[in-house]
Structure 1
């Protein structure tokens, strides 16, 4: 089988007003993402999604489209999409970074490989090690106290047992928000926080001490990207466990986290890591060193969310039972661009056992929401 064409579609999908995100990275009201289709001479197509946010990875929908169209596509035409190792080698020797663009291409190849084998992607990763129904936490933005209280009440009523609160902005406001969420959700449900690299070590430690009475179970990415020593400093100084996320894009980053004893758990997902294969490699390496992994999110649409689910179902060390992840991106958006949206009921997302990624893109709807 050979790749014959790669077609790209920049799309603009608004978030539901009640789900719009506020964090240390700023506001996220509309998703400008890249959706792509890989065509083959066997008539099998694969879909991919680059969930790009400029302040997160430095990628934009326009840059992702340009590098896919002008750099990667000429090299991938004629390649076997089922030879994913070679596909990744081509992408990596051609470009540094560009994780989400690479991931979109790689997940589309996994989609094709699964369809060709008549198997879901998680079977190709070694088989299902957990249920296809995955229980998630809810990621709450850095909202006002009134909005945080109202959202917490709604989330508890919807069955969420873990709520993540965005912090990393103004410490006084963040502490007050965490206090409000804890008081509203009660003492028995799990509360985690995420600073998205918004604080230095001293600020993170001081803020966490002020939140010591709120039973925070996990502190995600308190310190800036690239500063492994700062993350380790916070880990030594506070009681809650530390999750590495923004600081860990590839296997080299994961090795530095572990070498510096900087975290208790590593957050991974295919977009950030450059593909499903690279996520699996990080998860496997972390397992060898006794570090559990969980799944993060960039507020994906159904395509990338399906890729995330397959990684969770197929990777044993994706310890979402103890550390619930974030795979609810489709529920944040006003529309779905697939004909069979992933089933989301409260905190639980379920992927089908269909071949490939298990989703069928509505290309007419994609074209309707494409932007110049």
Structure 2
């Protein structure tokens, strides 16, 4: 460990924050409609400096925890146990064993940010070699109709977005098939299309979709079947040349190992909060590169802290996909507690030249949207 890694955390502050979305978000039939970005912000303090992390729980099926679970952890022991812990142990994850994805992620990301601010270096330098200065962003549509899709796609294309994700799995599969064909026919020039069923199809429905969309060059088909059924995804891969991505199936490093073993994915959908932070996310991307699996940087309904962390990881990942990644989350919320939105230009997001995560935190906005807080 370096001298900085041996610095002890002096204090912890935790804020439960809820910010309304501009429009409700409809996923597949197994998920409720999302109307707010509800997160838990974690502030670690040492040597007069703050590092920031953010838990973005998607529920048990996504991150393994909820906002209530995250707050319960910090209420029960988390706030009291972190002071005195060495920074390096939080970055490596040595002190975070047993924690679920979003809780673990918030602490791990805050530790990375704190080290970067203490040493005046950006987080990406702690992760590896920079392969990209910027990455393109996708834009998603809710599960609905092709007309509703085009109402979203047309203005976003004019703003520079070139990759669009259609959420599916709420309607009968034959309607989803007709919908994606209709959207593809109307898609602007040079745009890419992907679909995400969020576990909304049975294996038979997913097979039908794959067979009837062979003629469409989809960027990917994400999580077509239940998360625990990834052993059968290789059967779906044989039905179509369109690549399959796993999201809910991929929570931990052990999941990545098992999915690779059964040849269950062409693409890994990496989410910082779902995958337990930067350290675990980095390990997953390296394993994927070793086995020829591509990476798409995806997101929960999250704020700028986690979006920034995802960008740092994506920019050191050589095997990222060459189409859009999910860096649009703060454009879908009515506000944010950071300046991450300022990093975007014409559908592309670029790393700033700043220490740590590089985002500026607006404490007034935290206070404005805070539902509850804890402090060591």
User: What TM-score comes out, normalization by structure 2 length?
Assistant: 0.91
Q: Secondary structure at the match of 1:91?
A: coil
The answer on whether the counterparts of 1:47 and 1:303 sit within 8 Å (CA) in structure 2 is: yes
What is the alpha-carbon distance in structure 1 between the residues aligned to residue 339 and residue 309 of structure 2?
A: 16
Structure 1 residue 278 displacement after superposition? 0.5
Structure 1 residue 208 displacement after superposition? 2.5
For residues 45 and 34 of structure 1, do their structure 2 counterparts lie closer, same or farther at Cα, with a shift above 3 Å needed?
A: same
Aligned length: 362
For structure 2, list consecutive stretches of 5 or more residues without a partner in the other structure: 1-6
The answer on whether the counterparts of 1:125 and 1:315 sit within 8 Å (CA) in structure 2 is: no
2:230 paired with 1:224: no
Equivalent residue, structure 1, for 2:3: none
2:118 pairs, out of 116, 126, 129, with 116
2:14 paired with 1:8: yes
2:71 paired with 1:68: no
What is the alpha-carbon distance in structure 2 between the residues aligned to residue 71 and residue 200 of structure 1?
A: 41
Equivalent residue, structure 2, for 1:23: 27
Equivalent residue, structure 2, for 1:368: 368
For residues 223 and 339 of structure 1, do their structure 2 counterparts lie closer, same or farther at Cα, with a shift above 3 Å needed?
A: closer
What is the alpha-carbon distance in structure 2 between the residues aligned to residue 290 and residue 326 of structure 1?
A: 21
- Equivalent positions of 1:249-260 (< 5 A) are 249-260=251-262
What is the alpha-carbon distance in structure 2 between the residues aligned to residue 212 and residue 330 of structure 1?
A: 34
For structure 1, list consecutive stretches of 5 or more residues without a partner in the other structure: none
Structure 1 residue 53 displacement after superposition? 2.1
Residues 302-311 or 51-60, more deviating = 51-60
The answer on whether the counterparts of 2:101 and 2:277 sit within 8 Å (CA) in structure 1 is: yes
Equivalent residue, structure 2, for 1:156: 157
What is the alpha-carbon distance in structure 2 between the residues aligned to residue 284 and residue 214 of structure 1?
A: 30
For residues 215 and 341 of structure 1, do their structure 2 counterparts lie closer, same or farther at Cα, with a shift above 3 Å needed?
A: closer
If asked which structure has higher relative contact order (CA below 8 Å, sep 6+), I would say 2
For residues 240 and 151 of structure 1, do their structure 2 counterparts lie closer, same or farther at Cα, with a shift above 3 Å needed?
A: same
The answer on whether the counterparts of 2:91 and 2:112 sit within 8 Å (CA) in structure 1 is: no
For residues 120 and 258 of structure 1, do their structure 2 counterparts lie closer, same or farther at Cα, with a shift above 3 Å needed?
A: same
What is the alpha-carbon distance in structure 1 between the residues aligned to residue 305 and residue 190 of structure 2?
A: 34
Equivalent residue, structure 1, for 2:192: 190
What is the alpha-carbon distance in structure 1 between the residues aligned to residue 64 and residue 132 of structure 2?
A: 34
Structure 1 residue 248 displacement after superposition? 0.6
The answer on whether the counterparts of 2:162 and 2:192 sit within 8 Å (CA) in structure 1 is: yes
Structure 1 residue 146 displacement after superposition? 2.7
Name the one with the larger helix percent. Answer: 1
- Equivalent positions of 1:1-372 (< 5 A) are 1-17=7-23, 20-24=24-28, 25-40=31-46, 42-54=47-59, 56-85=62-91, 88-92=93-97, 95-96=98-99, 98-131=100-133, 133-170=134-171, 171-186=173-188, 188-317=190-319, 319-320=320-321, 322-338=322-338, 341-372=341-372
